[in-house]
Structure 1
Amino acid sequence: MSKTNTNVTENLRKQIEAAVTAAMEQGALPAGEIPSFVIEEPADRSHGDIATNVAMAGARVFRMAPVKAAQIILDHIDLENSFIEKCEIAGPGFINFFLSKRYFAAVLREIENEGERYGESDYGQGKKVMVEFVSANPTGPMHLGNARGGALGDCLAAVLDKAGYQAYREFYVNDAGNQIEKFAASLEARYMQLFDDSFAFPEDGYQGSDIIERAEQFKEKFGGSLTAVSSEERRKALVDFALPLNIKRMQDDMAKYKIDFDNWFMESTLHESGSVAEVVNTLTEKGLTYEKDGAIWYKNKDICTEILLSQGKKQDYIDKLELKDDVLIRSNGNPTYFAADIAYHKNKFDRGFEQLINVWGADHHGHVMRLKGAMNAIGYDGDKLDILLMQLVKLVRDGQIVTMSKRTGKAIQLRDLLDEVPVDSARFIFNTREATTQMDFDLDLAIQQDSQNPVYYVQYAHARICSILRNLEAEGVSARSCTDEELCLLGAPEEVELIHLLSAFDSEIIAAARDYDPTKITKYVTNVATYFHKFYNACRVKCDDEKLMQARLSLCTATKTVIKNVLDMFSITCPDRM
């Protein structure tokens, strides 16, 4: 809620508690402990702006019908000098409160005073939160899943910042391990085939055209200098050449996508620093590893079983999961990805982050519990690691699933999408569906410049307000700060509903941060645009009553502020003209 809204709720709670206490002291209600009760906004505003269940929640304490208790509470409540205009009893004993016009004036005054800071709160108490997202392998181009994950992760971090957290964005670069060995072998084969087409390509090699492109780029710059050296030397030189180019390409793609990571963390640094060996040693010292077939294994089954039992799960349920142990060090002495992942998340906690959030693809579902369990096993709190699993996204054009790029005729990559779709559309539309749901991304919709495109619809509302202000300015009418009495002239249903919605901005931000769901904010700002258009169509801004006109201009300006704050927060263009 806005600060005005929050104060109303907090004060009303105190007033209700004081009324119950006074009624008990006077013998109108039986003496006892004040019951725990809820204050909330009714779904149907005709039933009031705020409602409480205090009379029903206290039925046992009050020992009377809730309707009767509700009346006694109202008889003893002091609402003088509050924002409450009237109150009434409804249904089985709800007490409904109706806000006064002074309240709505106060909301507009708050938005005017707060400006670009409106919507911020201290809900997060400055807590340091790491949001790791995208983290694509640098062995090839980024794909559509990275497009969705990028938009969700970046906007989630923005929401957390707005809600009072210190959010830190990180990209984890898997520049070590099996995938890099496969990358090296693939590069070697494509490079050598430029000189000898009989050179065998590895069965599990990367088939992408980008591998051929990197090999050709190396040949163009260095010729056949690697044809006479050992395979080990050749592979290292090719990786040292190609990997930085791939990482730079990822960084360029993310920059084009308006994502600015605080850090690009290299997996290789974990191996070089000894961090991976350290966590393996820690687990071994705790008796949580064993040797088998020349490899070192982690007792994942035991740890995860312990977690599930502590959650009240039955053994039959656990048995059906078919939990297995994990290899940490392969028989060839090389650490696994899982070993590095444990070291990486330990590193995050060691850097002082109090909460870790990962945005992963849904195919990582089986990795969630074992990583949280491993954090517990090495002495950290696995409950402070939250993993947001993101479902698949499909591209749709003309109602049909699209799998190939029109430009290249190959599998669609992130850069193909951004070449075809405006970045603003991509960032907004990817945040219109919760991460836990599968998504069809409509390419036709994303490039439309009309109200069917959700980001265009919101941007247009902002531009429309700017146009209203410009046109009136041209006629010699400038928006000014209004008095409370002038703002109290706003009483049309469309005006009141819009102000109500504007007052909920920071509560929506808090809910989005709490639930790790930035889509709440795209839905919210779309509603703001909708309610503004309703207001504009029902209430003439330019009118003969100068005071009412200025009050409506204040409402326009407040709406403009909220829309801009959302779009700025999500790094989406906020145009003055369209």
Structure 2
Amino acid sequence: MNIFADFAERVSAVVAALELKPEEGQLDLSRITVEPPRDPAHGDLATNAAMVLAKPLKMKPRDLAEKIAEGLRADSDVSAVDVAGPGFINIRVNPIIWSRVLASVFEQGKDFGRSQRGNGVKVNVEYVSTNPTGPMHVGHTRGAVVGDALANLLAFASYDVTREYLINDAGAQIDVLAKSVYLRYLEALGEDIGAIPEGLYPGDYLKPVGKALADEFGPSLKDKPEEERHAFLKGYAVDKMMDMIRADLELLNVHHDVFFSEKTMHGEGAAIAQTLQALRERDLVYQGTLPPPKGEVPEDWEDREQTLFRSSTYGDDIDRPLVKSDGSYTYFAADVAYLKDKLDRGFKQMIFVLGADHGGYVKRLEAVGRAVSGGSAQVICRLCQLVKLFRAGEPVKMSKRAGTFITLRDVVEEVGRDPVRFMMLYRKNDAHLDFDLQKVTEQSKDNPVFYVQYGHARCSSVLRQAAEELDGISVAPEALMKSDFSLLEDEGEQGIIAKLAQWPRVVDGAAEAHEPHRLAFYLYELASALHGHWSKGKEKPQLRFINDKKPELTLARLAMVYAVSQVLASGLTVLGVDAPEEMR
């Protein structure tokens, strides 16, 4: 039950009944929204109907608001309607609405709030896709969590979601990896390799790979022709690195449906060549020249005819080269073929969760999506800003180049999966995030993940206590759903139910905006409402959830507590965080 969507339809029906006609075209009722008012004292719901419709109707917003308010007052589920300011309409609903909300939670359980927005549309969410040259570091962690939670959110909103990882196994970095692994192989054979040369990967994480090679092949690899050995080491090293990355992701409970190898698209007659030929026939690929870069022109810049993609026609800043001067394909050519492959697999939305350093790729990826699909599919990019790591307020230094970076595994093993996942989502993805290894394990209101999980544990504790103290009275969900919800008349109780009623709207809005952090914010607010009301019960015994002198009221309150537990558990599950029944 989404009361906001329900009342938006009611407001639209009232407007339609007024039979107001704009001077031109049709009245666009899709702009009408119903949302919680900023100040709960103003009512339960607020609508912008008069503000967005007054201009096309050439009316004063306040006058239109009064007409709409008059129609809403005839609704039996509305107890009061007020017009505020220049034309805002505030609605207070009949308390029976809150009973319906609780009934809906009991009927749907953890599916309460599940949106039908996606309607089975095929969506591809690509996230992580870090180069397979080493273990994941804390900078990769945010994208992994955001991408995974976004995929969960879209699935909860009824999209057909595929979680994908692009293995970047065709670039120069793989040559560097193979050379680095060969040195560790020689080291494992007992040779003195000295200092790792500049430009190779110095991390100790490659030592086990070198040892595995030495154990399996002995010194035989040294005798192979260099080209043959190098080709073998590239594949071997990538496989080992991907095993390491999968193990790191498993620590976060992050899993992908598809691991797509970029290498498979290269080579004569492979996907890139076929794609460029097909796009050339559509005049999306052509031979031409590019103007020199703005500002100082690099010494290695060449004014030459190139194979170009018409990305500027579709919103990019310039057309993009597809083939290098040596005849090899650019990274952009691989991006074009990869997007074409996704389109051929039937995806209507292709979401890329990228690091902030990939901001320059956004326009070109969006342009490729529009061009290749002819506008039938959408490319959406979400950038994740940097994570700054602290311990008790002091920065934790890391240096990937020196091989002493802080890994994802380091962080998860120190603080646990749940704090990492929740806190990576407790800021919007494009905002910088300070992650304090000490604070995220504190048991206080200032630690959001603890506060939300403790909210669920408190609900479970209250229900266990009630089962022990209420002799002969069942507190099973099937019994609680039959209680008299109309007894919940306290302002705090109705505030909690009003917050529960917002959950379907939060899910719908977060899915539409591709912003899973909204769920984390909401869960903290819901937990805060529960904890706050529980604390009032310590000062005012009449507000306590369990009152053996008033069993009917107690059952209604326990029903509310159970409903809160269901929504907290549902939201935490979407975020990939556990909902514990007790915490010590």
Structure 1 residue runs of 5 or longer lacking an equivalent are 310-317
Q: Deviations 1:37-82 (Å, cap 9, x if unpaired)?
A: 73533212222222345556666788876656655555565625x3
Tell me the distance in 2 between the aligned counterparts of 1:456 and 1:180. Answer: 41
Which of the residues 569, 572, 577 maps onto 1:567? 572
Query: How many equivalent pairs are there?
Result: 550
Residue of structure 2 equivalent to 1:312: none
- Aligned in 2, Cα 1:342/1:94: closer, same or farther, shift over 3 Å? closer
Q: 2:311 matched to which residue of 1?
A: 303
CA deviation vs aligned residue, 1:170-221 (integer Å, no higher than 9, x gap): 1111122322122222223443455654799664322222234322331233
The structural deviation recorded for 1:252 is: 1.4
Corresponding residue for residue 181 of structure 1: 175
Match of 2:122, as an amino acid? K
- Select which of 415, 418, 424 maps to 1:430: 424
Q: Report the Cα distance in structure 2 between the residues aligned to 1:57 and 1:324, rounded to whole angstroms.
A: 40
Structure 1 residue 238 displacement after superposition = 2.6
Distance 2:405 2:28 in 1: 61
2:456 equivalent to 1:448: no
- Deviations for 1:251-278, whole angstroms, at most 9, x for unmatched residues? 1111121012111111122226700111
State the alpha-carbon separation in 2 of the partners of residues 170 and 392 from structure 1. Answer: 22
**CA deviations over 1:89-122 (Å, ceiling 9, x no partner):** 3334444321111011000000010102111011
Separation of aligned partners in 2, 1:77 and 1:249: 60
Contact persistence 1:218–1:241 (CA under 8 A): no
- 2:298 — aligned with what? none
Is the Cα contact below 8 Å between 1:128 and 1:354 reproduced in 2? yes
Q: Which residue of 2 aligns with 1:505?
A: 503
CA distance in 1, matches of 2:358, 2:59: 55
Which digits, 9 at most, give the CA deviation of each residue in 1:490-530, with x for residues without a partner? 12121111111111111111111111110000000011100
Deviation track 1:338-358 (CA, whole Å, cap 9, x = no partner) reads: 222221111111101110000
Residue 127 (1) aligns with residue 107 (2): no
Deviations 1:139-178 (A, max 9, x none): 2111112111110000001111111211110111112232
Equivalent position SS for 2:266: helix
| 8 A contact 2:106–2:481 mirrored in 1 | no
Matched, 1:262 2:260: no
Change (3 A) 1:108 1:232: same
Distance 2:512 2:222 in 1: 57
Give the conservation status (yes or no) of the 8 Å contact 2:480–2:558: no
| Distance change in 2, residues 1:566/1:198 (3 Å) | closer
Question: For residue 252 of structure 2, what is the amino acid of its counterpart?
Answer: Y
Equivalent position SS for 2:185:
helix
The letter for the 1-side match of 2:414 is E
Identity over aligned pairs, percent: 33
Q: Which amino acid aligns with 1:355?
A: Q
Q: AA paired with 1:505? A: W
Whether 2:114 is the aligned partner of 1:117: answer no
- Is 1:275 equivalent to 2:276 in the alignment? no
Q: Tell me the distance in 2 between the aligned counterparts of 1:371 and 1:95.
A: 42
Q: Is the 8 A contact 1:182 1:206 kept in 2?
A: yes
Return the alpha-carbon distance in structure 1 between the equivalents of residues 27 and 373 of structure 2: 42
Aligned ranges 1:178-577 → 2 under 5 Å: 178-192=172-186, 194=189, 197=192, 203-271=198-266, 274-285=270-281, 286=283, 287-289=285-287, 297-299=306-308, 303-304=311-312, 306-308=313-315, 323=318, 325-331=320-326, 333-378=327-372, 380-381=374-375, 384-404=378-398, 410-475=404-469, 476=471, 477-479=473-475, 480-482=479-481, 486-538=484-536, 539-543=543-547, 544-577=549-582
C-alpha separation in 2, matches of 1:224 and 1:127 = 54
1:246 CA displacement: 1.4
Distance in 2 of aligned mates of 1:401 and 1:296: 49
Task: Return the alpha-carbon distance in structure 2 between the equivalents of residues 142 and 57 of structure 1.
Answer: 48
How many Å separate the matches in 2 of 1:381 and 1:141? 38
- Counterpart amino acid of 1:6? A
Q: Secondary structure at the match of 2:487?
A: coil
Instruction: Report SS of the residue matched to 1:103.
Output: helix
Residues in 1 aligned to 2:391 and 2:257: alpha-carbon distance in whole angstroms: 35
- Structure 1 counterpart of 2:101, one-letter code: V
| Residue matched to 2:45 | 50
CA contact (8 A) 2:314 2:370 kept: no
Distance in structure 2 (CA, Å) of the matches to 1:337 and 1:517: 28
1:15 maps to: 14
Cα shift at 1:87: 2.3
Match of 1:136 among 117, 121, 130: 130
Partner of 1:170, secondary structure, is strand
**How many Å separate the matches in 2 of 1:368 and 1:379?**
17
- The question of whether the paired residues in 1 share the 8 Å contact of 2:428 and 2:517 is answered with yes
**Residue aligned with 1:288, SS:** strand
Report if the CA contact (8 A) 2:352-2:382 is conserved: yes
Given that residues 404 and 411 in structure 1 are in contact (C-alpha distance below 8 angstroms), is that contact kept between their aligned partners in structure 2?
A: yes
Contact 1:126–1:166, Cα closer than 8 Å, also in 2: yes
Other-structure match for 2:85: 91
Q: Determine the C-alpha separation between the residues in 1 that align with 2:382 and 2:63.
A: 48
Helix, strand or coil: the match of 1:171?
A: strand
Q: Indicate the SS of the match to 2:220.
A: coil
Q: Which amino acid aligns with 1:524?
A: Y
Aligned counterpart, 1:314 = none
Name 1:156's counterpart in structure 2: 150
CA distance in 1, matches of 2:90, 2:59: 19
* Matching residue within 82, 99, 104 for 1:105: 99
Q: Report the TM-score, using the length of structure 2 for normalisation.
A: 0.86
**Counterpart code for 2:560:** L
Q: Distance in 1 between matches of 2:62 and 2:364?
A: 52
Change in Cα spacing, 1:513 to 1:256, as seen in structure 2 (3 Å) is: same
Partner-residue secondary structure (3-state), 1:87: strand
- Cα separation, partners in 2 of 1:470 and 1:284, compared to 1, 3 Å: same
- Give the conservation status (yes or no) of the 8 Å contact 1:490–1:551: yes
- Verify the 8 A CA contact 1:296 1:327 in the aligned structure 2: no
Task: Rate the CA distance shift 1:460–1:234 in 2: closer, same or farther, 3 A.
Answer: same
Partners of 2:551 and 2:278 lie apart in 1 by: 74
Q: Could you say what secondary structure the match of 2:480 adopts?
A: coil
- Output the amino acid matched with 1:389: L
Structure 1 residues 71 and 364: CA distance shift in structure 2, 3 A: closer
Change in Cα spacing, 1:417 to 1:71, as seen in structure 2 (3 Å) is closer
Distance 1:202 1:426, change over 3 A: same
Residue 361 of structure 1 contacts residue 390 of structure 1 at CA under 8 Å; is this kept in 2? yes
Paired residue type of 1:144: V
CA RMSD of aligned residues (A): 3.2
Shift of 1:389: 1.3
Structure 2: runs of 5 or more not aligned: 290-300, 537-542
Letter in 1 for 2:382: L
Compared CA separation, residues 290 and 204, structure 1 to 2 (3 A) = farther
> Secondary structure at 1:86's aligned position in 2?
strand
CA positional deviation for 1:297: 3.6
Moved more, 247-256 or 59-68: 59-68
Do 2:72 and 2:78's aligned partners in 1 also have CA atoms closer than 8 Å? no
Task: Report if the CA contact (8 A) 2:62-2:86 is conserved.
Answer: yes
Change (3 A) 1:439 1:77: closer
